Amino acid sequence: MNFFKTFLASCLGSLLAFIVLCVLGFFLLVGMVASFSDSNQQVVVKDQSVLHLKLDGTITENEIEDPLEDMPIPGIVSSTGLLPLKRAIKNAKDDSKIKGIYLEVGTLMGGYGVARELREALVDFRKSGKWIIAYSEYYTESAYYLASAADKVYLNPEGELEFNGLSVEVSFFKKLFDKLDIKPQIFRVGDFKSAVEPFMLDRMSTENKLQLNEMIEDIHQTILNDVSATRNIDGTRLREIADKMLVVNTATSVEYGLVDSLVYFDQVQAELRSRLGLSDKAKINLVKYGKYKRSLSNPSSSKNEIAVIVADGEIVSGKAQDGLIGSDTFAEELRKARTNDRIKAIVIRINSPGGSALASDVMWREINLASEVKPVIASMSDYAASGGYYLAMACDTIVAQPTTITGSIGVFSVLFDMSNFLDNKLGITFEEVKTGEIGELITMTRPLNSVEKNIWQKKTEEIYKGFTTKAAAGRAMPVDELMKVASGRVWTGTQAKERGLVDVLGNFETAVTLAAGAAGLGEDYRLKYYPIQKSFFEQWLGGLEESAETRMLKRELGVYFDTYQYLKKLKNYQGSQMRMPYELTIE
């Protein structure tokens, strides 16, 4: 009897759960239909409107159109596309219905190349005579850098502002590998090719400290110069404020001129009303970026197209995925652009720390072929290093931001010998049968023998020779001269231009203007971005599937899940790599 009671109770519970899910699904479907209906309608901007830019999250190069941006959906990580955002700001500059911008900057997830591009767009907006009001409860270093482009910068009275210079922290895994019985087998070329240092050392090498220190010093100086110009603070004084961290609370942020006033949200709203000439209780026509971009019409109906091919992420062989530049996908887009008569010029937008040497070379070849028949311009974002620079060096002209991290012309190969880890920790052993003296050259289940190690070192040196030879040809300089700035060393955009690795310091619009000029288009062109982004629902369904897999793995692996995630990532390091040192986060 108890069995039947339990069985019936379980059935009833399952039935109720099914009914609840159906009801929730129905309402979600209704919301989706309504959202799609709204998204298909062009937004009408009212007179006396303010463009509301709330930047608190990841900034990517491009973005997926999200018809449900106002509805929190599991499996979707919100992000804002840099290029569409800049287009909206540029349009608002000449939009008579937009009187100003209300800028809320929280935790800005992006490098200083992206931040500077956005900042330049805001500074250009102000040239129209319109105003920008920035407000936040907390400004990170990069968030303040962006906000400092505004007419007025406000901070919550109990908030915080970070302005104490830049730093880079590097994680080292040698001791972890020692504990796990994992042995990295490393082959490299170049004194500065320090991407493998975390696997073989427990602290920075002298060469790496040198390049990182010079790099962040150069980026910091660019930031200080930009802030000095918009905040009217002497550059030397600004350097002192940062170096000595004189801003320790909200009061000192006003005292030293970084912030105009300490105010609450309602006081910011009052100023917006005042600037718009509204009464105390009148509604402010705030237009969110997501809606405003739907009000924009196609900027050009020209038959001439400039193709913008976006290379955003780590370089791997195969098809592109979120956060990965797939060589097959990229090469296919290049071939299409090269043979399409409608496309008159190509801009390669690069935001990549590098990756697979083979995949980089596959894409380099397609860029080279394209440059033989039409102008190809490289536009560097936060990163265009190692494999990322490999793509740029095939272009006719290279444009970088002063804060771009580039160069890193070097190669390393690494294979992880996990045989002891698999045996001692997991109880898994392997045995290999081979027909000759040389076994599997890419393996994690045994150590390489001396002959195999020699093969890998020679292979790495050959790839490096090809990299430097092609880079020298692309930059029209003798190989000996290029070698002086190679060896895997990382440079800022400013440093790279001084050394002939970059042609022009500028932003994305600079690259587009150069492409249009080289193709003889003048102003008669339109931009189109490739690869075509996955649809919202493709991303959503993929995110749900990935979340389900992750939950299952977490349940099965328990405390070993983090180790599994790290070891899984190491597979991208297997073999020959053109990769920037570490995953640099400058704070």
The beta strands (E) that lie in 364-433 are given as 376-385, 397-400, 405-407, 411-417
- Measured N-to-C along each axis, helices 357-371 and 327-339 cross at an angle, to the nearest 10 degrees, of 0
- The answer for residues whose C-beta is within 8 angstroms of residue 297's C-beta and 6 or more apart is 42
252 sits in which H/E element = helix 250-255
The phi-psi region of residue 122 (left if phi > 0; otherwise alpha if psi is between -120 and 50; otherwise beta) is alpha
Q: Positive or negative CA dihedral for 174, 177, 181, 184?
A: negative
Q: What is the largest CA-CA distance in the chain?
A: 90
Question: Residue 536: exposed, middle, or buried by beta-carbon count in 10 A (0-12, 13-18, 19+)?
Answer: buried
Q: How far is it, in rounded angstroms, from Cα 292 to Cα 325?
A: 30
The beta strands (E) that lie in 408-505 are given as 411-417, 490-492, 504-505
3-class secondary structure, 349 = strand
Distances (CA, A) of 236 to 144, 228, 255, 385: 18, 9, 16, 31
Q: How far is it, in rounded angstroms, from Cα 426 to Cα 564?
A: 12
Catalytic residues: 193, 386
Q: How far is it, in rounded angstroms, from Cα 315 to Cα 402?
A: 23
Distances (CA, A) of 5 to 8, 15, 359, 536: 5, 15, 61, 45
Hey, what are 371's tokens?
Answer: 């440059």
Supply the Cα-derived Rg of the chain in whole angstroms. Answer: 27
3-class secondary structure, 80 = strand
CB 141 within 8 A of CB 403: no
Amino acid code (one letter) for 404:
T
